[in-house]
């Protein structure tokens, strides 16, 4: 099962906003230089010893699965950029150390150069993704994805001026196996800066783990913007039950809490 094909689909949410947020800037992309945001990027130290940086040869994503209405939006800029990240935005992708290398975490930050335009585009994106409440699609590999989708725009992240969170939970089925799948993604706008965090796992619920990473990511962004000291890098997911589904399937005992 090529779970990594999910990455281009969810990342396109951020690309739809960041690519078109500003028509003038300091580099060829039309946006300010992004290097000043590098210190805000999450590292393995923020996650825990069960995680590693995804190898470069695993980060191309391949073809994205068909999630129907979940990513069927009409926002200027959607699909204009691939995962080569030619514009130099700080980004990182993490995976579990052990097979099947889940959970996956994607973190990206961009200075849009135009907070007002980014706010307008993020609002439009929210209006369109909010119309999708259910997914039942079979992709080209024969995998059937069935999700219930929820969305909220509550600004609970530290320093958030605007926020969009989309959560989906359900199953992925490829005969003879059906597995639980949950993912959550959040885009936070802090002034001109957009922070994107996605968490994906074979689990019934990833809400708490995802929220903890969003809060840490935004704390670091706020500190960089303010020019103040950065928060300590303490592992947030050291007790996360990595591989719980497979352990249960094989009759083993997973460690850590029973929900994520």
CA distances from 7 to 28, 141, 177, 184, 252 (A): 25, 16, 22, 12, 30
- Rounded CA-CA distance 135/70 in Å is 7
Q: Is the pLDDT of residue 213 over 90?
A: yes
Peptide bond into 93 cis (omega under 30): no
Average pLDDT, the chain: 81
Q: What is the pTM of this model?
A: 0.85
Q: Which of 7-16, 67-76, 251-260 has the highest mean pLDDT?
A: 67-76
Q: Which of 51-60, 87-96, 173-182, 216-225 has the lowest mean pLDDT?
A: 51-60
- Rounded CA-CA distance 219/226 in Å is 11
Predicted pLDDT of residue 24: 47
pLDDT digits (tens, 9 = 90+) for 74-108: 655 544 444 444 557 789 999 999 888 899 999 99
Predicted pLDDT of residue 257: 41
- Rounded CA-CA distance 60/90 in Å is 16
Predicted pLDDT of residue 125: 86
The more confident residue out of 251 and 260 is 251
Burial 46-62 (b: 16+ CB within 10 A, else e): bbbebbeebeeeebebe
Half-sphere exposure (CA, 13 Å, Cβ side) for 221?
Answer: 30
Burial class of 28 by CB neighbour count within 10 A (0 to 12, 13 to 18, 19+): exposed
- Rounded CA-CA distance 93/150 in Å is 24
């Amino acid at each position: 099962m090529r779970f990594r094909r999910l990455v281009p689909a969810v990342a396109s949410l951020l690309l739809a906003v960041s690519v078109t947020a500003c028509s003038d800037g300091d580099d060829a992309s039309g946006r300010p230089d992004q290097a000043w945001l590098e210190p805000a990027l999450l590292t393995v130290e923020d996650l825990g010893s069960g995680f590693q940086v995804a190898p470069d040869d695993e980060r191309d994503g391949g073809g994205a699965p068909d999630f129907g209405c979940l990513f069927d939006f009409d926002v200027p800029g959607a699909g204009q950029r691939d995962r080569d990240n030619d514009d130099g935005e700080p980004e990182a992708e993490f995976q579990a150390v052990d097979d099947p290398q889940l959970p996956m975490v994607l973190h990206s930050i961009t200075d849009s150069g135009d907070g007002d335009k980014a706010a307008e585009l993020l609002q439009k994106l929210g209006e369109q993704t909010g119309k999708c409440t259910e997914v039942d699609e079979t992709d080209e590999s024969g995998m059937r994805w069935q999700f219930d989708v929820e969305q909220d725009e509550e600004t609970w992240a530290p320093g958030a001026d605007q926020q969009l969170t989309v959560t989906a939970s359900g199953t992925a089925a490829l005969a003879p196996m059906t597995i639980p799948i949950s993912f959550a993604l959040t885009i936070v706008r802090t002034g001109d800066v957009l922070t994107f965090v996605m968490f994906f796992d074979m689990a019934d619920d990833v809400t708490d783990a995802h929220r903890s990473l969003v809060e840490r990511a935004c704390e670091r962004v706020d500190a960089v913007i303010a020019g103040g000291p950065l928060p300590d890098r303490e592992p947030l997911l050291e007790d996360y039950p990595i591989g719980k589904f497979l352990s249960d399937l094989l009759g083993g005992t997973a460690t850590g809490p029973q929900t994520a």
